[in-house]
Amino acid sequence: MQTEAAPDHNPFRIARKQLDEAADIIQLDPAAHEILRWPLRELHVTIPVKMDSGCIKIFHGFRVQYNDARGPNKGGVRFHPDESIDTVRALAAWMTWKTAVMDLPLGGGKGGVICDTKSMSNDELERLSRAYIRQVGRMLGLEKDVPAPDMYTTPQIMAWMADEYSFMQGNNEFGVVTGKPLELGGSAGRGDATARGGIYCVREAAELLGMNLSGMKAAIQGYGNVGSNTHKLAVELLGMRVVCVSDSQGGIYNPEGLDHAELMTHKQATGSVTGFPGALPVANEELLELDVAVLFPAALESVINGSNAGNIKAILIAELANGPATPEADKILYSKGIHVIPDLLCNAGGVTVSYFEMVQNSYGYYWEEEDVHRRLEKKMKTAFRKVNETARKYNVHNRLGAYILAVERVADAMKLRGWV
């Protein structure tokens, strides 16, 4: 069954509140504002899947197309037991703002299925992934809506989805999904793109704040695709010491720093970062309040909120997760002078390389990894500076700066198209 988020942490209400605040500041045309408060389209699907035991299990899923004024809807598919329509709506809205902040010719969408992948076999996951695409495929297309991976969805799942969609069309249309394996038209550099984009932003922020990050401490919440790659790149590209990381089972702490390769081996062997030799156990809530230079939330929404924002000691928060801080937290963090790199910018490396993947798929020519890194770095730097400029111009925190930039761009596109 669908689980409702706690009232004040409902992600869609938060997304709307953020939009309303930006719209007020720029005195957005009321019709444009009203359109942007709603998804343009959404589909709720019920998905029967034959489980290995032979019984049929019924899953529920969604695909939301929030706004495609600037181009086809783009956004991942999440497989999560707590998925809800409001989470998917919020994530689809954030994708709309994110593609606009990055100035990509795309809109925003998102999908999700309520399921617990950890309790499913590989065959069950394949059947669910294909069945989801058979249900939402009517909304997808190169010029309509292009999904990608998100929490608990992988390149293999993207491959099944691209294959199922291709069968439905009667020809290969691999470009309809991004985050695919390289062998099926994936882009070099997509695997660590979200983490890498965030690290490029941290480098820009450190320069802005006059911080030398070398040897400084970092903590990372979440140790999946984004969190584990952030660990690797924070050490490799920034010379930082990652002292604390966590996953859904709990966290670990070592003031000397955690070794990425050894921790990956441990996680692969045991399924969790917990119990890593030489490290002390730490609760997920404690991780957020540690005395570190940079805090990387890379797991779930609303983890930084009115009740803990006042205790945060980091100088910089790099929001790799979507929606990790609530509006109450934003106010507190801003008043404490903590520099937040907002999710709309910080985790946009993934969608940017997904866009590169769409471009490469459409002309059938593939770039070298260094080429992808160079293009990503340029996009991230430009967007970082633009967000910073906008925040300063309006004298607001960076999230509102990012919102204002994005909302103006989407509203301009709607006006040019004659929608408002």
Binding residues for NAD(+): 194, 225
Distance CA 319, CA 305 (A): 14
Q: Which candidate, 22, 172, 193, 178, places its Cα nearest to that of 97?
A: 22
For 67, residues 6+ apart whose C-beta sits below 8 A from its C-beta are: 35, 36, 39, 40, 73, 93, 96, 107, 108, 410
Q: How many helices (H) and strands (E) does the chain have?
A: 14, 12
Q: Which among 17, 50, 57, 110 is annotated as catalytic?
A: 110
Binding part of the chain for ligand NAD, among 14-22, 274-282, 317-325, 400-408 by CB under 6 A, reads 317-325
By the rule CB under 6 A, 274 interacts with ligand NAD? no
- Binding-site residues, in ranges, read 74, 98, 194, 225, 354
Cβ 342 to ligand NAD shortest distance, Å: 12
Residue 146 — φ and ψ, nearest 5°?
A: -125, 105
Q: Interface with ligand NAD includes 305 (CB under 6 A)?
A: no
Q: Is the Cβ–Cβ distance between 71 and 61 less than 8 Å?
A: no
Q: Which is nearer to ligand NAD, 320 or 414 (CB)?
A: 320
Closest CB 148 distance from ligand NAD, rounded Å: 7
Q: Is 322 in the site for ligand NAD (CB under 6 A)?
A: yes
Please report, in angstroms and rounded to a whole number, the separation of the first and last CA atoms in the chain: 38
Q: Does 106 bind ligand NAD (CB under 6 A)?
A: no
Contacts of 16 (CB under 8 A, 6+ apart): 37, 93
Which of 106, 216, 238, 300 is the binder for ligand NAD (CB under 6 A)? 300
Whether residue 110 lies in the annotated active site: yes
Annotated binding residues for substrate, written as ranges, equal 74, 98, 354
Does 186 participate in binding ligand NAD (rule CB under 6 A)? no
Beta bridge partners of 251: 246, 282
Looking up tokens 């979440």, which residue turns up?
222
192 binds ligand NAD (CB under 6 A): no
Amino acid identity at 404? I
Strands 73-80 and 145-149: parallel
**Site size for ligand NAD, by CB under 6 A?**
24
Query: How many angstroms separate the CA atoms of 30 and 184, rounded?
Result: 45
* Residues 114 and 81 sit within 8 Å (Cβ to Cβ): yes
Residues 237-266 that bind ligand NAD (CB under 6 A): 246-248
**350 near ligand NAD, judged by CB under 6 A:** yes
Residue nearest to ligand NAD (CB): 224
- 77: contact with ligand NAD by CB under 6 A: no
Q: Which one of the spans 27-35, 208-216, 274-282, 292-300 is the region binding ligand NAD (CB under 6 A)?
A: 292-300
Residue 312 within binding range of ligand NAD, rule CB under 6 A? no
> Rule CB under 6 A: which residues touch ligand NAD?
149-152, 194, 221-227, 246-248, 284, 298-300, 320-322, 347, 350
